[in-house]
Amino acid sequence: MGASLTTEEAKGASNIGHQKMVPQNHPSQPHIGSMGEYFRMHAESINNPAKFWGNVARELIKWSSDFDAVQYGSLDKGNISWFLGGKLNACVNCVDRHALKYPDRYAIIHETDDGDDPRSLTYIELLKQVSKMSWVLKDLGVRKGDVVSIYMPMIPEALVAILACARIGAVHSVIFAGFSSGSIKDRVVDSKSKIIITSDASCRGGKIIGLKKIVDEALADVHDLKTLVFKAGKIDVSWTEGRDYWWHEEVEKWPAYCPAESMDSEDPLFLLYTSGSTGKPKGILHTTGGYLVGAASTGKYVFDIHDNDRYFCGGDVGWITGHTYVVYAPLLLGISTVVFEGTPTFPTHSRYWEIIDKHRVTHFYVAPTALRLLKRAGSSPSSFKMEHLRVLGSVGEPIAPNIWKWYDEEVGKSRCHVVDTYWQTETGSHVITPLAGVTPTKPGAACLPFFGIDAAIVDPVTGQDIPEPNVDGVLVFKSSWPSMARTILGDHRRFQETYLSAYKGYYFTGDSASRDEDGYFWIRGRVDDVINVSGHRLTTAEIESSLIAHPAVAESAVVGVADEITGQAVVAFVSLKKQADMVLGDASLSHELKLHIRKSIGPFAAPKTIYVVIDLPKTRSGKIIRRILRKVTMGEADQLGDVSTLSDPSVVDEIIKVVQHKQ
């Protein structure tokens, strides 16, 4: 749509919503001067991607050898590549070029759980640490193209590990440190990792969690995999000689500079496992050139990052937000990124605001779930100055207008630009978003497509493009963009089926959205069985398969229901195997099943409620009708709709009784 807007329409857009004057402490004007310029640039990015992205890629990224062609392939064929023939190294782009220019600028500002003993790193220190780690990885047998798993807390060393992989051409696969040993095992086995980098423990919210112990459990029957362990010094760990190596002992052996591997633009940079529509997590693969161009260009234009900015993203490095916007975007642009090990509520509900003041943070980026939690807990950002803040970002789920306003007024003192950025693990970087200081915003809307995104709303059934204003449908993109994922590791067919075949020739986001009279996009939520809990992406299928693995469970069905704090919450229904029914009472069983999920997936996936029922509502062909469960859970048992396909309607009455009894 944006591509076809005329200049007149573009002018009209500047009367939309509210737009802030540039705050007085802004170092310079935004990179883009007007909405007209945004529309012109967007049109060029769609109509002449070779020219547009060729220029952006050469401006923001250092190539050791220029690319021959900007883009090749089509969504239809699933053979996308960008910047063909270009050679570069991601780590050189994030570290070396800045270490040469301003060695003493902070690259990483470390904030520990309790604020004591930070290990912040300047760009030159980061270069030294990354170089040493590169040597260590090579010495442990890691070669270009090998996969390295990283299971670490939010500490500077997690970034050192990531960048060292990039430096030697290894593919990093970060596993969120909240995942259980079973999830780690699935991921290291699927990715054929050579080594897993971890820490003895993590310290969050005043609690110590033994990460190495969880890794030990994961590797109990996985052979030929080494571990490299950073010593945070918090606890004793058990040790397997010949398999386990201490980080501090290994780095000491090596020089402070290691040459970087020259990589092809389309060489893999990283894998990140994400929940898909079946139980098995998918290893989403991103390549080097296009991903970096996406990260750097969104950093520059969406966040309007300028030299000397200090940027704080509260996301975890185990998710895509941490990859692109804790590590890559800020470091590619040579600014300082805050790495926060703790939680927003420890020791007080003011932890974020203290960090923002302490480090003179200019950009703050967080998920609405954290804002909801803090607002409800009575956190008072108004008692903090936060005078350097310019841009406030939101990510991961829709942000309700009242939370948007609280963010804007209380945190931003009505003088910051609020950007609600919509994107996915698969898109690599922002796709629908306002540009800070440029796009007039509307609370709750993700606004307009970023450069290169040819967004459309299609009819979910026919797949027909609905170009008119004021429409609802499914959000798709009509052409590829540099930072889109290239494949699912080992399963390109699944990649094509999931993203490229649902609506032929288009990229299918899996989200429904509407477009208003001004062409603004409002993201509504998933149309598949993905559940978004506190910005963590889960599927009904993965929780169901975990439940079924429990010896007492015969069948299970999981639904996502609205929750005031976490956005959505997991509610599970289980029916039991006959013997189990007699042994266990409901309360202890649902407690046990919650523990079981915590152990098999991770604590964040544990259902809020588990209902033990006699049977699940099914069609005559045996398909579970989750729609009915959702309605019953939401207290709408009187609006079940068409129940004629139910094989045994009395099951529903039983379920209603169980749910009402527990509520």
Q: Pairing between strand 530-533 and 536-539?
A: antiparallel
CA distance 533 to 538: 7
The nearest distance, CB 346 to ligand 6R9, in angstroms, is 24
Burial 3-40 (b: 16+ CB within 10 A, else e): bebeeeebeebeebbeebeebeebeeebebeebbebbe
Q: Which pairing describes strands 207-209 and 202-204: parallel, antiparallel, or unpaired?
A: antiparallel
Q: Of all helices (H) and strands (E), which one includes residue 457?
A: strand 455-458
Spatial CB neighbours of 117, under 8 Å, sequence gap ≥ 6: none
Q: Whole-number minimum distance, CB 587 to ligand 6R9, in Å?
A: 33
Query: Which residues are CB-neighbours of 402 under 8 A, at least 6 positions away?
Result: none
**Min dist. Cβ of residue 604 to ligand 6R9 (A):** 12
**Residue (of 100, 103, 109) closest to 310 by Cα position:** 109
Instruction: Report the alpha-carbon distance of residue 136 to residue 151 in Å, rounded.
Output: 17
Look at the alpha carbons of 416, 417, 418, 424 in this order and tell me if their dihedral is positive or negative: negative
Nearest distance from residue 302's CB to ligand 6R9, in Å? 11
Tokens of 336: 């300082």
CB nearer to ligand 6R9: pick between 2 and 368: 368
The residue (of 230 and 365) whose beta carbon lies closer to ligand 6R9 is: 365
- Min dist CB 157 to ligand 6R9, Å, is 24
Find the shortest distance in angstroms from Cβ 468 to ligand 6R9. Answer: 22
With respect to ligand 6R9, which residue has the nearer C-beta, 165 or 284? 284
Find where tokens 């008119």 sit. 468
Tokens found for residue 513: 């959205």
| Distance in Å, CB of 446 to ligand 6R9, minimum | 5
Query: Nearest distance from residue 433's CB to ligand 6R9, in Å?
Result: 8
Minimum distance of ligand 6R9 from residue 375's CB (angstroms)? 18
Closest to ligand 6R9 by CB, 199 vs 532, is 532
Phi, psi of 27 (to 5 degrees): -70, -25
Q: What are phi and psi of 115, to 5 degrees?
A: 90, -10
Q: Looking at beta carbons only, is 321 or 379 nearer to ligand 6R9?
A: 321
Contact indicator for 172, 267 with CB cutoff of 8 Å: no
Residue 167 beta carbon to ligand 6R9: minimum distance, rounded to whole angstroms: 26
Nearer to ligand 6R9, 178 or 396 (CB): 396
- The alpha carbon of residue 60 and the mean position of all alpha carbons in its chain are separated, in whole angstroms, by 23
Q: Hey, which residues does 556 pair with through a beta bridge?
A: 574
Please state, in angstroms and rounded to a whole number, the distance separating the CA atoms of residues 559 and 657: 18
Q: 68 by DSSP, 3-state: which?
A: coil
Instruction: Output the smallest distance, CB 364 to ligand 6R9, in A.
Output: 15
Measured from each CB, the residue nearest to ligand 6R9 is 425
Which residues lie near ligand 6R9 (CB under 6 A)?
274, 319-321, 395-398, 420-425, 446, 509-511, 523, 526, 532, 535, 537
Q: Which is nearer to ligand 6R9, 129 or 433 (CB)?
A: 433
- Sequence-distant (6+) residues with CB within 8 A of 636 are none
Which of 232/432 has CB closer to ligand 6R9?
Answer: 432
Residue pair 536/318 in contact (Cβ under 8 Å)? The answer is no
Tokens of residue 406, six digits = 């609280």
- Which CB sits closer to ligand 6R9, 562 or 587? 562
Q: Which amino acid is at 391?
A: V
Place of tokens 């750097």: 296
Number of neighbours of residue 646 by Cβ within 10 angstroms: 17
CB of 575 to ligand 6R9, least distance (A): 30
> Comparing C-alpha atoms, which of 247, 207, 237, 179 is closest to residue 113?
207
Beta bridge partners of 538: 531
Supply the minimum distance, in Å, between the C-beta of residue 509 and ligand 6R9.
6
